Amino acid sequence: MDDYAWLRERSDPAVIAYLEAENAFTDAVMRPTEGLQQTLYDEMVARIREDDSQPPVRRDDWYYYSRTEQGRAYPIYCRRHGSPEAPEEVFFDQNEAASWHEYYQLGALAVSPDHRHLALLVDTSGYEAFTLRILDLATGVWLADSVDNLGFGLAWASDGATVFYTTTDEAKRSNAVWRHRIGAPTEADAPVYRDDDPAFNVGVARARDGRWVVVSSASFTSGETWLVDAHAPDTPPVCVRRRQPGVEYEVSPGGDWLYVLTNEGGARDFKVMRASASSPAGWREWLEHRPGVFVEGIDVFRRHAVVLERHDGLRRVRIILLGDHAAAAGRAPAAEPDSFFVDFPEPAYDVTPGSNPEFDTGVYRFTYSSFVTPDSVYDFDVVTRSRALLKRDDVLGGYDPAAYQVERIGARARDGAVVPISLVYRTSFARDGARPLLLYAYGAYGYSTEARFDHSRVSLLDRGFVFAIAHVRGGQEMGRAWYDDGRMMKKMNTFADFIDCAEHLITEGYTRRERLVARGGSAGGLLVGAVANMRPDLFRAIVADVPFVDVINTMLDDTIPLTAQEWEQWGNPRSREAYEYMRRYSPYDNVRPADYPAILATSGINDPRVAFWEPAKWVAKLRATRTGGGTLLLRMKMESGHGGASGRYGRIREQAFRYAFILREAGAA
């Protein structure tokens, strides 16, 4: 029996009235914090440079960049021709485009190879149902070409007049790639590839070398890739290698070679194979599998490749010189590549690839940050091994990174695994349990949570908070085994890890229970929801953003977006074994009479990933079942989806609200 199933009926006026009543109640409870919310918002806005610009990215003889202006919520996209000092051309102002909408988000923004047209995927509801729009950059006129209800993924052919996009099925699974010719009616758009297997999601992208449009179809455990000649977009796609159960692979074209990241042959932490572009199925080992070194991805350029690896929980950047670059450095090319690593100084950090559209370059751009170092954009010369800092985000208002301490520690889980924890706090610091602590985790889909900088977090740190990330199983921080040990019939490890990390932080004096707050979103919302049932005594408060809490009902309904694909992530409850295992942790199904922590659940009514009714039902059941009278709030945004507000000021306002709740409940207001 599901006493709150009626809350699924969005078209029922009673459901809307219920959600609006919940919002009114939340506003009433939080009204005493409105001054604090405004103070936090003002602090956060004052900390960022509102008038700002990103370093330009070169494509051919054009330099592309985005910038922001004070008081305007969205980026302005610009370019200069010939040099970075040439006159600016604003080719798309998202603020103007968004002025007619309460919500406005881009799923893709791509300039054609001839720099003549701009293609956009636009979402104005938060439901991630995109519309393709095309702008003539020479005239500034929007073309009549328009296609609705599209998925993610956009790619130009080399002629600058053909664009590829994806459509979705009834469950919002990207299932097909189509080809559109500028000026042609959409009824004439041609199908390129279609996959009717509900476990597979289809994508499309243009390869960096410009030779191919890459069509991919992948589940959580296998996949295949097809190549379309970018110079002959009407030709049929060629399959690199047909899918095999349990074999995952991704293809990075590099001139005459295809570089294939794969787990084939038992390479659990992945390896890189290489094949001739003329014989794509003929893979030969290029970078061997090394247990304990998880290969996340590879970027290929004409004379070098960049491999992203993860070792001891941290990402590292490995540079491999090819051809002329290897010779210039005094090293001959070899079947087993010669390489070196880019070094980073801090104990916990984040490094992510920047925009690197040029294939023929000797420079690799990346962004580095840590808990105390703001986003820093570097260009790295792969021959001289020197790096140039192009831009470091300003943190206004007297921010001093030396006033904060970063730590990386390990917590012993109950089964003996050591779970990494990244921490930051303001000094001086005594481990006497007096500090409030916000513990965050995600722990799903193999997504690794990085120790990156957040301007808004300074407002918590300066009020005495410790911020910590528990790198629990289900992520891939410690390699593929870490992921596999936190999904399917091992999902309970994720929740146990989080609890064990919390108890370790208390034992070590970083905080105490009555000052400990947990936060997670989406699948991380499942995590904190499950933990709330398992150990309601351990936390003072919980923030669950767009939480996936109604696990069994959602996994039984394959008409809901993502469900069928995620049977490989959580299991299919039509199986007795999977049902009984899910029944042990599903937050909605395990609500019980207990004194729960204070809880704030947030959601958006247009969310296509975690339906709004999941947190609504969860909060309703908690109200009816729990004992005690702690704070229990639902904040439902009536105009957005999974990611919350689309503009930067709206996102800051939402963060200020969450922080006010956290400070109020942890006694740090």
DSSP 8-state code for residue 1: -
Mean pLDDT taken over the chain: 96
Residue 608 · residue 617 · CB < 8 Å: no
Q: Considering 179, 204, 239, which residue would you say is the last residue of a domain?
A: 239
**pLDDT computed for residue 334 by the predictor:** 45
Answer whether residue 247 is part of any domain. Answer: no
Which residue has tokens 């094949």? 275
State how far the Cα of 259 lies from the Cα of 41, in Å rounded to an integer.
46
Answer yes or no: do 578 and 524 share one domain: yes
289 has catalytic annotation? no
The number of distinct structural domains making up the chain is 3
Which residue has tokens 């089964």? 415
State how far the Cα of 481 lies from the Cα of 489, in Å rounded to an integer.
14
Residue 502 · residue 516 · CB < 8 Å: yes
DSSP 8-state code for residue 347: S
Percent of the chain with pLDDT over 70: 98
Answer yes or no: do 513 and 605 share one domain: yes
State how far the Cα of 555 lies from the Cα of 535, in Å rounded to an integer.
25
115 has catalytic annotation? no
Map 215-247 to HEC letters: EEEECCCCEEEEEEECCCCCCCCEECCCCCCCC
Answer yes or no: do 521 and 417 share one domain: yes
47: which residues sit within 8 A by CB, 6+ positions away?
395, 396, 397, 399, 455, 456, 458
Answer yes or no: do 68 and 130 share one domain: no
pLDDT in tens, 319-359: 999 976 554 444 444 444 579 999 998 999 999 999 999 99
The C-alpha torsion from 508 through 514 and 520 to 521, rounded to 10°, is -170
Percent of the chain with pLDDT over 90: 96
pTM of the model: 0.96
Q: Considering 92, 121, 150, which residue would you say is the last residue of a domain?
A: 92
Q: State the greatest distance between any 2 C-alpha atoms of the chain, in Å, as a whole number.
A: 74
Helix (H, G, I), strand (E, B) or coil at 449: coil
Beta pairing class for 404-412 and 437-440: unpaired
605: which residues sit within 8 A by CB, 6+ positions away?
10, 19, 612, 636, 637, 638, 639, 640
User: What is the CATH number for 111?
Assistant: 2.130.10.120
Q: What angle do CA 536, 669, 619 make, to 5 degrees?
A: 35
Q: Which of 219, 545, 642, 646 is catalytic?
A: 642
User: What is the CATH number for 456?
Assistant: 3.40.50.1820
Which pairs from 237-245 meet CB under 8 Å and 24+ separation?
Answer: 237/192, 237/193, 238/280, 239/280, 240/275, 240/280, 240/281, 241/280, 241/281, 241/283, 243/217, 245/221
Report whether pLDDT(497) > 90. Answer: yes
Answer whether residue 352 is part of any domain. Answer: no
642 has catalytic annotation? yes
Answer whether residue 577 is part of any domain. Answer: yes
Q: Considering 239, 269, 298, which residue would you say is the last residue of a domain?
A: 239
Beta pairing class for 598-604 and 632-637: parallel
Answer whether residue 339 is part of any domain. Answer: no
pLDDT in tens, 61-81: 999 999 999 999 999 999 999
**pLDDT computed for residue 667 by the predictor:** 83
Answer yes or no: do 181 and 37 share one domain: no
Q: What angle do CA 373, 379, 380 make, to 5 degrees?
A: 105
Q: Which of 522, 603, 640, 646 is catalytic?
A: 522
Answer whether residue 443 is part of any domain. Answer: yes
Residue 472 · residue 497 · CB < 8 Å: yes
Domain that holds residue 188: 101-239
Answer yes or no: do 116 and 216 share one domain: yes
**pLDDT computed for residue 669 by the predictor:** 60
State how far the Cα of 317 lies from the Cα of 429, in Å rounded to an integer.
33
How far from chain centre, in Å, is Cα 605? Answer: 20
Q: How far is CA 270 from CA 250, 316, 391, 647, in A?
A: 11, 15, 33, 38
pLDDT in tens, 76-101: 999 999 999 999 999 999 999 999 99
Answer yes or no: do 138 and 37 share one domain: no
Answer yes or no: do 429 and 521 share one domain: yes
Q: Which of 123, 180, 607, 640 is catalytic?
A: 607
Report whether pLDDT(476) > 90. Answer: yes
Answer yes or no: do 25 and 70 share one domain: no
Answer yes or no: do 553 and 404 share one domain: yes
State how far the Cα of 459 lies from the Cα of 333, in Å rounded to an integer.
51
Omega of the bond prior to 11 within 30 degrees of 0, cis?
A: no
pLDDT in tens, 584-636: 999 999 999 999 999 999 999 999 999 999 999 999 999 999 998 899 999 99
Answer whether residue 491 is part of any domain. Answer: yes
**pLDDT computed for residue 332 by the predictor:** 42
Answer yes or no: do 57 and 172 share one domain: no
Report whether pLDDT(400) > 60. Answer: yes
Answer whether residue 65 is part of any domain. Answer: yes
Answer yes or no: do 429 and 409 share one domain: yes
Tell me which residue of 487, 493, 489, 498 sits closest to 445, measured CA to CA: 487
Query: In 431-506, at which residue ranges do the beta strands (DSSP E only) sit?
Result: 437-440, 466-470
pLDDT classification of 139: cutoffs 50, 70, 90: very high
Answer whether residue 359 is part of any domain. Answer: no
